[in-house]
Amino acid sequence: MALAFSSPAPRFAVSPSIPHTSPSNSFLITVPTPHRLRRCLRRGVKAAVAVDSPSAEGGGLPVESPNVLLEVNDLRAVIKDTDKEILKGVNLTINEGEIHTIMGRNGSGKSTFAKVLVGHPDYEVTKGDIVFKGENLLEMDPEERSHAGLFMSFQSPVEIPGVSNMDFLRMAYNARKKTEISPIEFFHFLLPKLEAVKMDPRFLDRNVNEGFSGGEKKRNEILQLAVLEADLAILDEIDSGLDVDALQDVAKALLGLMTPKNSILMITHYPTLLDLINKPGFVHIMQDGVIKRTGDRSLAKLVEKGGYAEISNA
């Protein structure tokens, strides 16, 4: 189930694939609560700095460097019930506007890393730092992390009996935007997003994920992401259980959601989705709880051709 809630104000640019049709009453300004202000002052948050960069001709206008969205340093985590260490020193930096992919054998720590980022209660961080948008993520509970702009799509989205998809999405939207939108207005806001992920509007009347096929659940997760417009989408095997057509639709929808300000962290076993997205990005190979190697899409092709042994022996 996706974890994404509120952000101070909509930050995503208009996308040609996912129309941005914000309701007329959704604009607002929020002020940080006192405890959040004190938290920022304690940490001495590092500010992102814009630098001047000359153009290819040696002149031109200043170019703003990408802001660091997520920075993970020497992250170690254990399973609470057993104290078994799963993450053994993960380091990762994601800037705004980037697509990152984590690959690795089963049991290498990929899904654990994703769950630790969103504050899953089954895991305990024993060492390291996670800074998201300049704030210490480890000081936030899961709901606060969602409010800060994190979204996670799990491998197996849960069913919620008795709650319609329409009501769930509207409640999540209201929580994120800190507004109260009517069902009719929200339906008009939702229609172009349904079209973008190729979902029948009749799915809105069904209970969340109840009776959905694997592919329908994954489309529903992307629909949630389209509605909530998170700053960082963490997608844990979003490509599993999808046929070729559905995979192409998901890739197109993800491309439509990308802007210079938001980023995607995908976990996958296969390079197919990367090929369909066809956008420059970073591929990380995780092994035994650490990121062993980082490269571009060619690294995923190397894994596809020779397996992870090819990486281990390199």
What CATH number is given to the structural domain containing 230?
A: 3.40.50.300
Query: Residue 161: which domain range?
Result: 34-50+98-119+141-312
110 lies in a domain? Answer: yes
Sign of torsion over alpha carbons 87, 264, 115, 302: negative
Nearest CA to 98 out of 291, 246, 231 is that of 231
83 lies in a domain? Answer: no
Helix count (H) and strand count (E) of the chain? 10, 12
Is pLDDT of 21 > 90?
Answer: no
77 lies in a domain? Answer: no
237 lies in a domain? Answer: yes
128 lies in a domain? Answer: no
Is pLDDT of 272 > 70?
Answer: yes
pLDDT of residue 17: 41
Is pLDDT of 4 > 90?
Answer: no
Q: Which ranges of 129-205 would DSSP assign to H, the alpha helix?
A: 142-148, 165-177, 183-197
Is pLDDT of 290 > 80?
Answer: yes
149 lies in a domain? Answer: yes
Domain total for the chain? 1
Summarize pLDDT for 93-129 with one digit per residue, the tens.
Answer: 999 999 999 999 999 999 999 999 999 999 999 999 9
Tell me the pLDDT band of 53, cut-offs 50, 70 and 90. very low
The span from the CA of 312 to the CA of 301, in Å, is 15
pLDDT of residue 1: 52
